[in-house]
Chains A and B, each alone.
Chain A
Amino acid sequence: MMNRVAFASLCTSLVVAACSKPPAPAAPAPVPAPVAAAPATAAADSAARAAVRRDSLAAATRADSLERAARERARADSVRAEVQRAQADSVAAAVRSGLAPADSAVLAEAVHFDYDKADLQAADLPKLDRKLAIFQAHPRLEVQVAGNCDERGSDEYNLALGERRAAAAKRYLVAHGVAADHIAIVSYGKERPLDPGHTEDAWAKNRRDDFVVTRGAN
């Protein structure tokens, strides 16, 4: 029963995500009307030709930028799909892990960070404490902590920052009794945003540690 609930909620989140695609691109600006057809002089004629050429260039540039925007949206969609696939995989892995779905959900709870910081937030410590209880109940359990960042800062620096974020969660868990070799860490920097938006909300969601079960309770 619980399994079905977890599956249903996963489906719901997928559907919601599918519906939250960005709005369709605005229609291209109207192309200016062609310049008067019967110019009086050769000079006017060549000016008219130049204007038509400019207009067609402008139209081409607009079409080009729309196409680029479409490509960028497609990429954002594919990243989102990849993240969702990874989450679905991790839920499936949790089901295989022999853990109760409730425990899997607790283990999967992400912790979040301030901008350019790798310090655990006090409000997130209970999330880690709940994971501790599960580790105590399942001594064979192994987890990978993945540090992630928002889009600000350089690609490369964020990989280092993500590593520190993952390490912060690991240090806390190890300090509270989890065997160090049962927690692996990895950093995805800003390569795997949960929310591809460019807002404070999106950034806050993306500054996180994800927890993935790599070896089950059995």
Chain B
Amino acid sequence: MIRVPALGVAALLALPVGLAAQDTTPPVPGVRVGITYTPGTRPSVAVLVAGGTALDSVRTILGRDLDYSDRFEVVVPPQAAASLDSGGVPNYRALNALGTDFVVSVVTKASAQGDPRSPGGFDVLLHDVRSGAVKNRISLQVAGASADGLRRAVHRAADDVVRWATGAKGIASSVIYFVADGKIWRVDPDGANRALIAAAGRPALSPAYSPDGRTLAYTAFVPSGQPIVLQDLATGRREVVPGTEYGINITPEFSPDGRHLAYAHGTENGTDLYVYDLGRRTTTRLTVGRYYDNLSPAWSPDGQRIAFISTRAGSPQLYVMGADGTGQEALARFDYGFTGMTYAPEWSPDGQAVVFHREVAGVPQVFVLDLATRAVKQITGEGRNEDATWAPDARHLCFVSSRSGTRLLWVVDLETGRMRQLNSTAGARLPAWSPGHASLEAG
């Protein structure tokens, strides 16, 4: 994905070793500077604000979002280079000399009086330091916004900055749902803004979001059974998926087009996979097991295939089939009686990998299966690590880990290997990472 022009490589080879980490080649007109950096080195970005301390929280949230994207080196320039002039223009010359690639400036609108919560808003601008120009800008209207509203607006701006600078999808405006204490919660990917989602029973398990982010599906333990409930996140309206009023009903997942819901329905004869058509309100059975289990459906992003877990060969292992139930076969190679039990697959949003967890010497660890090579790579090794879910950028995973001594949610960046604790909710489990919101620019 990162291409270095041949000329750039030659120029770098001629540089003293100490400078190799910084790309000091002059900008080529018409070429995006963000993709000419040295492989293994991330572009640096400084977040600068004008308007006193009122924007400090905005700068903090924005800087953290850019840091957690793992696509930038977030730098704090020395005071002399860190100020914006009265027109909101950064000191390009000084920043360039410091090797800063990008500046994100936050400037309040005149009417806002420096307070982002007062009527008005602020502008977020991305500057290309070397060419000394504004690449993109976005205007955030936060009139009357709550603290949460402000936070959401800043997260969206952070994702816009990631897209402008790298062309890639950000994760700051996405949401992670998870279960703790038998209840469903949401949290921002920076670990802030945790909130309870009132569910239809307790425990409520296995939250799954619709691609438009409006509906949550989950298993609810209610007195009459364990149905799959569809819950409108805006109105709180709930509906039981037909056919799940009886038996055990688990592991719902929406198809990528949002029109179908796959889930596992268990009866006395075993557990099988079904697909519910939300528009036609019809249900199709995909697997026919007898006294064994098929569960944890995971759609491919093109909606054509479903990975799942089956005990057809004895222990739970990873299989795949067409979305109509045809062509069922093992997806990850396993040796009977040797390969550990395998659970909880999730297809990466770019379609190239499937994450799952598998027991190694009785301890669950997170693995990623590369679909092109069918190679399986172990991602974790410390403590119990399970139930991984992909971020919308297909490079971060959120998972449950006991590495700190208690079960908490962690996030790993597969590109850099950077690991961080998401928040401090003890006993958190079954995370589900939703897609990001649409850009503010689009609407």
Q: A154-B344, A155-B429 are in contact. Are A65 and B291 (CB under 8 A)?
A: no
Check A167–B268 contact: CB distance below 8 A.
yes
Q: Are B250 and A71 in contact (CB under 8 A)?
A: no
Q: Is the CB of A75 within 8 A of B268?
A: no
Q: Are B250 and A160 in contact (CB under 8 A)?
A: yes
B387 in contact (CB, < 8 A): yes
Pick the interface stretch among A12-20, A103-111, A183-191.
Answer: A183-191
In angstroms, how far is the closest chain B Cβ from the Cβ of A76? 10
- Of B221, B364, B426, the residue contacting A191 (CB under 8 A) is B221
Q: Please give, as numbers and ranges, the residues of chain A lying within 8 Å of B315 by CB-CB distance.
A: 116
Q: Is B203 an interface residue (CB 8 A)?
A: yes
On whether the beta carbons of A75 and B429 are closer than 8 Å, the reply is no
Whether A163 contacts B427 in the complex (CB less than 8 A), given A75-B181, A156-B205, comes out as no
Query: Main SS of the interface on chain A?
Result: helix
| A116 to B314 Cα, complex, angstroms | 10
Question: Assuming the A-B contacts A159-B250, A160-B264, A164-B291, are A64 and B424 also in contact, with contact meaning beta carbons closer than 8 angstroms in the complex?
Answer: yes
Complex interface residues of chain B between 339 and 372 (CB less than 8 A to chain A):
341, 343-344, 357, 359, 362, 364
Asked if B205 and A152 sit within 8 Å, CB to CB, the answer is: no
CA of A148 to CA of B203, assembled, Å = 15
Q: Does A171 contact B (CB under 8 A)?
A: yes
CA distance A118 to B289 in the complex (A): 15
Specify the main secondary structure of chain B where it touches its partner. strand
B270 on the interface (CB 8 Å rule)? Answer: yes
- A69 CB to nearest chain B CB (Å): 7
Q: Are A72 and B268 in contact (CB under 8 A)?
A: no
Task: Decide: A69 near B269, CB < 8 A? Known: A75-B181, A154-B357, A187-B248.
Answer: no
What is the count of residue pairs linking A and B with beta-carbon distances less than 8 angstroms? 98
> Which B-chain residue is minimally distant from A191 (CB atoms)?
B203
Quote the shortest CB–CB distance from A102 to chain B (angstroms): 29
Cβ-defined contact, A160 with B225, below 8 A: no
Given contacts A75-B427, A160-B264, A160-B293, are A154 and B225 in contact (CB under 8 A)?
A: no
Q: How far is the CB of B9 from chain A (nearest CB, A)?
A: 41
Chain B residues near A75: list those with CB within 8 A. 181, 426-427
A157 lies within 8 A of B225 (CB) = no
Which residue, A152, A156, A185, A191, has most C-beta atoms of chain B within 10 A?
A: A156
Please tell me if A94 contacts chain B, counting CB pairs below 8 Å.
no
Q: Is the CB of A156 within 8 A of B206?
A: yes
**In the docked arrangement, what's the CA distance between A205 and B343, Å?**
24
8 contacts between A and B (CB under 8 A): A75-B426, A154-B387, A157-B295, A157-B296, A159-B219, A160-B271, A170-B268, A191-B203
Given A71-B427, A160-B293, A164-B270, 5 more pairs with CB closer than 8 A:
A68-B426, A152-B359, A156-B343, A157-B296, A185-B268
Binding site for B on A (CB under 8 A): 64-65, 68-69, 71-72, 75, 116, 118, 152-157, 159-164, 167, 170-171, 185-188, 191
